[in-house]
Amino acid sequence: MPFDLILRGGRVVDPSQKLDAVTDIAFAGGKVAAVGTGLKADPGTDVRDVSRYIVTPGLIDLHTHVYWGGTSLGIDAEEFCRLSGVTTAVDTGSAGPGNFAGFRKHVIEPSQVRILAYLHVSHAGIFGFSHRIMVGESEELRLMNPIEAAKVADANRDLIVGIKVRVGLHSSGTSGIVPLDIALEVANEVGMPLMAHIDHPPPSYEEVLGRLRPGDVLTHAFRPFPNTPATAQGTVKKAVLDARERGVLFDIGHGKGSFAFKTARAMLANGFYPDTISSDIHQLCIDGPAFDQVTTMSKFLCMGMELSDVVAASTVNAAMALRRPELGSLKPGSVGDATLVTVRQGQFDYEDVVGEHLIGDRKIVSEGVVIGGRWWHPN
């Protein structure tokens, strides 16, 4: 089969293959077709000299809110992905069983960017999240809709990758941990993983972790005090270590209030890296402090994680969390998505959600993307 596109001479960083080398990547029929030096172009092949760039598998942002126009926190997926190098945006609970059909028809299906979703167990998803209105959808147990959530998840398995629930003082109020138990019932019924949001207690970090199963995701995992994974002495809490041992996954989900440098420094110092790095991008954090996926990745690069580990947390690890092994890789036969980035040197001001600033010496910048084997450069 002739190649549709060849990316020529870039530094390919693909942790799924333990690959970090200057080589070519070819695409055909919407998939990765070949990896190697000197790949031969056909007369109709689009050949791009990417020798100035790092080429990674298409970035996956495991925590976004992209139900634009359907919820007040939704942002435009295509605009966001162009700027941040994301080829798969995973919406985490913007829609519930009562409004997922609109999300699918009006946002997901027309999008050039792949959008997958965790379905909220609450009937209308995250409906009360704005600058002026902040109502935790899990506060009201009458909105929990496990029967319809199971039906909708089962009927949309091509797009729905799991069940979402938000618990904590600001999300579930006096309902506490009960919404998590309801969501787990749905996840068990449909055989999908769960993503659990956690904010201020109650419930405690330990209570939430104690209920999660292998393959479930705790997002906002490096959040500030209270409900932080680190002890006051800078060690990792035993419940956190035990949860990772049994297969619970830890996702960043930066957002407006859920990532602190202090927590991250303690966790990284103990060798506890996040499984996945995600932005939790929405209307209240897109102008800071999260900004986008590559900015979130840059923060971890500047805190000492190796580039390959940062890329893995935004590609192959996320694909495994989604149970979509065809994503997050440049192995031949994988989905034909790739991200081009540069790592700029200098002094860059990064901010966390509690106002602490970090002056970093590097910044990951998106330079272009390939989606479905075709060049899709930022406008």
DSSP letter for each residue of 339-375: EEEEEEEEEEEEE-TTS-EEEEEEEEEEEEEEETTEE
E strands present in 29-121: 31-36, 46-49, 54-57, 59-64, 86-92, 114-120
Amino acid symbol at 3: F
Q: Binding site, residues? A: 63, 65, 164, 197, 220, 280
Identify the helix (H) or strand (E) that includes residue 149.
helix 146-155
| Tokens linked to 80 | 């966001």
In contact, 48 and 4? CB cutoff 8 Å: no
Instruction: Please name which of 68, 117, 115, 109 lies closest in space to residue 93, comparing C-alpha atoms.
Output: 117
Mean pLDDT of all residues belonging to the chain? 97
In contact, 368 and 337? CB cutoff 8 Å: no
| Tokens linked to 82 | 């162009």
Q: Chunked in runs of 10, what are the mean pLDDT values of the chain (379 residues)?
A: 96 98 98 97 97 98 97 95 94 98 98 97 96 94 98 98 98 97 98 98 98 98 98 97 98 98 98 98 98 98 98 98 98 98 98 98 97 81
Residue 82: predicted pLDDT = 86
Amino acid symbol at 273: Y
Q: Binding site for Zn(2+), residues? A: 63, 65, 164, 197, 220, 280
Q: Rounded to an integer, what distance in angstroms lies between the CA atom of residue 367 and that of residue 379?
A: 11
| Tokens linked to 12 | 């390919």
Other CB atoms within 10 A of residue 228 CB: 19
Q: Rounded to an integer, what distance in angstroms lies between the CA atom of residue 39 and that of residue 6?
A: 8
Identify the helix (H) or strand (E) that includes residue 198.
strand 194-198
In contact, 290 and 234? CB cutoff 8 Å: no
Instruction: Please name which of 137, 148, 222, 140 lies closest in space to residue 189, comparing C-alpha atoms.
Output: 148
In contact, 239 and 272? CB cutoff 8 Å: no
Task: Determine phi and psi for 156, rounding to 5 degrees.
Answer: -130, 40
Tell me the pTM: 0.98
Residue 1: predicted pLDDT = 80
In sequence order, the 6+-apart residues with CB closer than 8 A to the CB of 189 are 146, 150
Cross-strand pairs, 24: 36
Find the length of the chain: 379
**CA 140, 142, 147 angle in degrees (round to 5)?**
125
Q: Rounded to an integer, what distance in angstroms lies between the CA atom of residue 193 and that of residue 212?
A: 9
Taking only the tens place, the pLDDT of each residue in 86-126 is: 999 999 999 999 999 999 999 999 999 999 999 999 999 99
Q: Rounded to an integer, what distance in angstroms lies between the CA atom of residue 130 and that of residue 158?
A: 30
Cross-strand pairs, 267: none
Which domains, from first to last, does the chain contain?
5-56+333-376 (2.30.40.10), 58-322 (3.20.20.140)
Residue 377: predicted pLDDT = 65
In sequence order, the 6+-apart residues with CB closer than 8 A to the CB of 116 are 88, 89, 90, 91, 159, 160, 161, 322, 324
